[in-house]
Amino acid sequence: MLKRIILFLLTNLLVIATISILLSVLKIQPYLTKHGINYQTLLIFCLIWGMGGAFISLLLSKFMAKMAMGVVVIDPQRATREERFLIDMVYGLARRAGLSAMPEVGIYNSPELNAFATGPSQRHALVAVSSGLLNTMNRDEIEGVLAHEIAHVANGDMVTMTLIQGIINAFAMFLSRIVAYAISIALSRGDEKSEGMSNAVYFGLTILFDILFTLLGSILVAAFSRWREYRADAGGAQYAGRDKMINALVKLQRGIELQDDRAPNFAAFKISHRDSLALFATHPPLEDRIARLQKITHVR
């Protein structure tokens, strides 16, 4: 727990420091002036913070996943027989998907039946599998899971999710500051004596609307995440075979209660996750995913 907190704080400090330096280098002036909001400056400010934070997180994603989940990357030169089987399976699927560079392959110690893919690009990806999945599934089911993760890498889902999250972040920041400013001005009614109170109201409302608009935006992010899971399932069926993909999801249904929440930020990148609210769910119900795969007839 302490390690995760330290990693979280260090990551956020790095994001803040990097973006602050970037704003200084670009000489971005304050967007609030005595004449009101400079919308062009505000837009640039929000894009840098929204997109910058998202892309810094993407660049650090592989490192953070290894640290937070305790992923042990397999050295192909020193792999045991069991590890060699895992590497060969991932590499074979990667070749079928047309990847030009083989992803790193790792194992993390957890009872959950899960796997995830992360990394800043197709050429620098990581596919990690839980020890619980390896100990529970047979080889065909493992191949189905790995094919799903390779499909995420081949589809560029990590970058696409980052782009969408960055746009949502920027939009939420932009809109929240405009609405907060309009309300604070309306409350002050041009009274100079209430200028200090107006500033306090503005910053308070900015935080409130940041949270509200980001929450609403996360509904769109979750909707895209669910769609990309269906697409990765179809890709997994193409690379490994439909039956292997279906059997893997059926096995995941039985182990859905075993969930590792050590790194909640990576939940969206796992093959399955138990979500409570449908609007904010990053994964569709497993029964729906199985039903869609059963309708596919053009794969082996």
Distances (CA, A) of 293 to 96, 143, 146, 172: 19, 16, 16, 36
Distances (CA, A) of 26 to 23, 30, 41, 115, 282: 5, 12, 11, 41, 36
DSSP 3-state assignment of 114?
Answer: coil
Distance of CA 179 to the CA centre of its chain: 28
- Of 104, 141, 149, 229, the catalytic one is 149
Structure tokens at 13: 């400090």
How many Cβ atoms are within 10 Å of 104's Cβ, its own excluded? Answer: 21
* Pairing label, strands 104-108, 72-73: antiparallel
Active site residue 149: yes
Instruction: For residues 15 and 13, give the distance between their C-alpha atoms in angstroms, rounded to a whole number.
Output: 5
Instruction: For residues 249 and 246, give the distance between their C-alpha atoms in angstroms, rounded to a whole number.
Output: 5
Nearest-10 Cα torsion for 179, 181, 184, 188? -140
Distances (CA, A) of 298 to 143, 169, 238, 247: 19, 39, 9, 18
Phi, psi for residue 115 in degrees, rounded to 5:
-155, 160
Residues tagged active-site: 149
